[in-house]
Chain A
Amino acid sequence: MPIDTSEIERLAKILEHSGIASIEIEENGQSLKLVMEDTQPSVRPPSLVPTALPGDAAVIVKADVAGIFVAAHPWRAKPFVEPGQCIEAGAVVGLVKIGLLYAPVLSPATGFVDAIIAETGATVGYGSPIVSVQATA
């Protein structure tokens, strides 16, 4: 089956937003190569935008204690993690506030953050999903 134009459009869009310079696809004897025109310097170098590879495990980081989820420390403007960010195993991905205490939510996996699932201010319990991580190791 030939690669149709709507596929090419879709791939082109992915390419445009990925910051990657080109992709090449081979399928059923056909090959397609899409190359980004270098019209302006890319905002983010490609190496900072991780791509999900086949075989990567999706890990849901869960709270291990009940309280109120907080995505950023109250003294900080930025949340602990943002989608696309690379993290190591043991990194703090958010806090669970229990009265005066902040219990850290730690990622068990090294990889990159897929999405922040819990909302700041939401009540979470033991096992509540907090963040999803694409593990790369």
Chain B
Amino acid sequence: MIEILSVRGPASIQDLGRLDQYRFGVGTSGAMDDLALRAGNILVGNDENAAGIEIPMMPFKVRFCRDMAFALTGADVEATLGGHAIPPWWKLHACAGDVLDLRAMTRGARTYITVAGGIDVPVVLGSRSTQLRGEFGGLHGRSLLPGDILPCAAPSIPGYIGELGTEPADIALARPNTPAGDITVRVVIAGEYDAYDGAAQDLFWSSSWKVTPQSNRYGYRLQGPPVKSIAPIEKRSHGIVPGVIQVPPNGQPIIQMRDAQTSGGYPKMATVIGADLWRVGQSGLGGKLRFEQTSYADALAAHDEVSHYLNRLRTSVRLFEEMRRCR
């Protein structure tokens, strides 16, 4: 078990989400940085889809109520366990009574805690992710509060082998040079792209879009030069998925994220590829995003690159732990 001692902002239980409930209007939810969650789960020997804790704001403090292995991935935070500093993207062991103290977030926007065995809240409609809008899933369908006790399942491979770190994803999957401070994400153009003239399209590609404070798990509202269509567009309500970039009449793009509604009627310029959604999830308020046009084939290649990275990580961890076990 884990006891929440202090929390600021909307921390929640997330796994990789509910992918097959769109027909009831239920979106995916799930970790905003799915890569960090997967990597954290791999480090502690879990299934990649095990539920962890997503923490978007600091400070955050928990007490481990029993001995357990855990990992910290995602954003860089000043983290201590029982007063000892923890390096980034790290797996280590907590003893019953140990306090994990997360302070300032210095890089990125969301940190993940994964525990060996996973956070053991009930599965609802196929997932343990928190559905904030529908108020179900995760812990009672809401963000975490001080005093919350999170149940943890027993690990599949018992016994702790030792501390271990892994290269953060933004190094392992580094993208070629972007203007300093900007994060580039690859997008595939969407249905209404041609309803914009060349000048508007150029604005979309060339601008450094600022992540406004009205950005959250539902969507990232961006600020920049208004992108206006040739004529007003009023579309019939249609399905959308996380990553879809809508442009309302005010010309300010919104990237629909994990808790977005499952359908909408605003025109769509493009969709952030699945392989890059985590980069958006790690952009903090005030961060700058740029869009890079990508073909469907290249988007698939990016998806394959991520799968390959995760496979390598899984194999490396397994081999390394085996080796240590033999000592």
Q: How near does chain A come to B313, taking the closest CB pair, in angstroms?
A: 5
User: Is the C-beta of A103 less than 8 angstroms from some C-beta in chain B?
Assistant: yes
Contact of B313 among A76, A92, A95, A100 (CB under 8 A): A100
Return the CB mask of B82-100 against A: 1 if under 8 Å, else 0: 0010011100000000000
**CB-CB under 8 A for A95 and B165, given A75-B88, A101-B316, A103-B320:** yes
Contact of B320 among A75, A80, A95, A98 (CB under 8 A): A98
User: Is the C-beta of A104 less than 8 angstroms from some C-beta in chain B?
Assistant: yes
B223 to chain A: which residues have CB within 8 Å?
A: none
A92 to chain B: which residues have CB within 8 Å?
A: 87, 163
Contact of A100 among B76, B87, B172 (CB under 8 A): B172
Contact A74 B166 (CB under 8 A): no
Give Cα distance in the complex from A106 to B93, angstroms.
15
**CB-CB under 8 A for A101 and B171, given A73-B88, A75-B107:** no
Contact A74 B165 (CB under 8 A): no
User: Is the C-beta of B8 less than 8 angstroms from some C-beta in chain A?
Assistant: no
B172 to chain A: which residues have CB within 8 Å?
A: 100
Q: How near does chain A come to B175, taking the closest CB pair, in angstroms?
A: 16
Q: How near does chain A come to B51, taking the closest CB pair, in angstroms?
A: 24
Contact B168 A101 (CB under 8 A): no
Contact B168 A74 (CB under 8 A): yes
Beta-carbon nearest neighbor of B313 in chain A: A100
The prevalent SS among residues of B at the interface is: mixed
Give Cα distance in the complex from A100 to B163, angstroms.
15
B84 to chain A: which residues have CB within 8 Å?
A: 91
B167 to chain A: which residues have CB within 8 Å?
A: 74, 97, 100-102
Contact B164 A99 (CB under 8 A): no
Instruction: Give the contact-size bracket for chain B.
Output: 20 to 34
Q: How near does chain A come to B273, taking the closest CB pair, in angstroms?
A: 22
Give Cα distance in the complex from A75 to B167, angstroms.
10
Contact of A101 among B76, B87, B107, B166 (CB under 8 A): B166
A95 to chain B: which residues have CB within 8 Å?
A: 87, 165
Beta-carbon nearest neighbor of A80 in chain B: B87
User: Is the C-beta of B312 less than 8 angstroms from some C-beta in chain A?
Assistant: yes
Return the CB mask of A97-118 against B: 1 if under 8 Å, else 0: 1111111101000000000000
**CB-CB under 8 A for A101 and B88, given A74-B171, A75-B76, A75-B107:** no
CB-contacts of B129-162 with A (<8 A) = 162
**CB-CB under 8 A for A103 and B76, given A73-B87, A73-B88:** no
Q: How near does chain A come to B97, taking the closest CB pair, in angstroms?
A: 18
Contact A100 B168 (CB under 8 A): no
A104 to chain B: which residues have CB within 8 Å?
A: 87, 162-165
Contact B168 A75 (CB under 8 A): yes
Task: Give the top 10 A-B pairs by smallest Cβ distance, nearest first.
Answer: A102-B165, A73-B87, A104-B163, A75-B88, A101-B316, A100-B167, A100-B313, A100-B316, A75-B76, A100-B166
20 contacts between A and B (CB under 8 A): A73-B88, A74-B171, A92-B87, A92-B163, A98-B320, A99-B312, A100-B167, A100-B312, A101-B320, A102-B87, A102-B89, A102-B164, A102-B165, A102-B166, A103-B164, A103-B165, A103-B320, A104-B163, A104-B165, A106-B163
